[in-house]
Amino acid sequence: MKKVPIISAEKAASLVKDGDVILGGGFGMTGNPVNIIHELAKTKTKDLTFIANNVGEPNMGGGRLLNNGQLKKVIGSFFTSNREAVLAAQEGRVDYELLPQGTLAEAIRAGGAGIGGFYTPTSAGTLIAEGRETKILNGKEQVFIEGIRGNVAIIRAWKADTAGNLQYRMTEQNFNRAMATAADIVIAEVQEIVPVGELDPNEIHTPGCYVDFLVERKLTEEDLGSSASVGSSKVVDEKRMNMAKRAFAELKKGDVVNLGIGIPTLVADLIKPEDGIILHTENGMLGVGPEPKDGGGAMFYPVNAGKVPVTALPGSSYFDSADSFAMIRGGHIDVAIMGGLEVDAAGNLANWTVPGKPLLGVGGAMDLASGAKKLIVTLRHTDRDGASKVVEKCSLPITDFNCVDMLITELAVFKFIAGQLTLVEILPGSSLEEVREKTEAKFVEKL
């Protein structure tokens, strides 16, 4: 049986050379090989291309490499969680490329499988797809994405045996599993290394043939950043809760549902076990339960896509990010509920960026908008200046076209019936006159 060298984090960092393309595992700081990355930050290695879902957190993980000036380019899905990365990109101090989260995961999986590339409907017609080859397949415009490989993959697993077989824990599979297949050198930072034979072959997620080096470093709460404990940022007021309740009323027993950040997260608090609703989170979990009552963090619990620790309900399952987005694109998510910046009369959604603002990351929004069977959008009817967010035509960059099935604001509920924006309900505290006054888009009334 193969025996994989066990090395120090310092030695692992020395394997990275100037100009290398680095694949960095993790989702936020969960499943993040933070110890090796921080050792790399102590070196003079430079001109690196760093590929990861996000650039760590401020001065943590990839964020430390960024602050040291070691990164030439970053490729990822969601930089917004690290304001320092957003600022560096917007000021031109680092080159960057944004990919939708599912596209990024699938590109890495393709690279690891020796596949040159693939077509996906995600991002078609948007700014993200500019300059890329497109083709009409099965009646839909699809975008060609090349497979991604790196010189070095630095990943995190929970257990390894001396043959390099890896076992992940909870939502720590995320990007790690695909990245383990997609680099010339694969280094796995693990919590524990055990002798060959101690891991049940049925429970091995990454076979040892992919892994070149092992580093044993214990995880601490300090390594987990914002996921170290439950620090809920939910803002609950009557209007927001009315919107959440109305969205919840659309869900049926047995529905598989994905909740975006913001108002949609309030829907989770309304779901009871007897409702039979199955929550999905794009970083790799089906059967998401409420936040831990003991306040515990990612050391003991899985995390959701907002990087908030959650519990696992009976019957829950874990998987990696590539499989998670295969569920989404494959039409296995019944309902997605997400926030918005604008929705227009054609059912187009804008919710991922505002030019010039500290927002830089599309995350899973494009995949969900195009892949979920039903899309419910919740947003405030007007902005702070009183301008309508329900517009005749979106002025902000589009997330997806003709995708919205239902729009819920604090004032009203709209459906898209036969392609027309249709007012179907007035919410408490509002009136038809107020809805007419504050809605820019033309709509049909069918109350």
Q: Given 282, 291, 342, 410, which residue is catalytic?
A: 282
**Per-residue pLDDT for the chain (447 aa), expressed as one digit of tens each?**
789 999 999 999 999 999 999 999 999 999 999 999 999 999 999 999 999 999 999 999 999 999 999 999 999 999 888 999 999 998 999 999 999 999 999 999 999 999 999 999 999 999 999 999 999 999 999 999 999 999 999 999 999 999 999 999 999 999 999 999 999 999 999 999 999 999 999 999 999 999 999 999 999 888 888 888 876 556 678 899 999 999 999 999 999 999 998 889 889 889 988 999 999 999 999 999 988 988 889 999 999 998 899 999 999 999 999 999 999 999 999 999 999 999 999 999 999 988 877 677 899 999 999 999 999 999 999 999 999 999 999 999 999 999 999 999 999 999 999 999 999 999 999 999 999 999 999 999 999
DSSP class of residue 281?
A: E
Dihedral in degrees, nearest 10, Cα atoms 315, 316, 317, 318: -160
Spatial separation of the C-alpha atoms in residues 292 and 232, rounded to whole Å: 11
In angstroms, the Cα distances linking 327 to 257, 338, 346, 430 are: 11, 17, 26, 38
Residue 267 and residue 259 in contact, taking contact as beta carbons nearer than 8 Å: yes
Please name the amino acid found at residue 326.
A
Query: Which string of b and e fits 258-292 if b means at least 16 CB within 10 Å?
Result: bbbbbbbbbbbeebeeeeebbbbbbbbbbbbbebb
SS (H, E, C) 223-244: HHHHHHCCCCCCCCCHHHHHHH
Residue corresponding to tokens 């948007």? 126
Catalytic residue status for 84? no
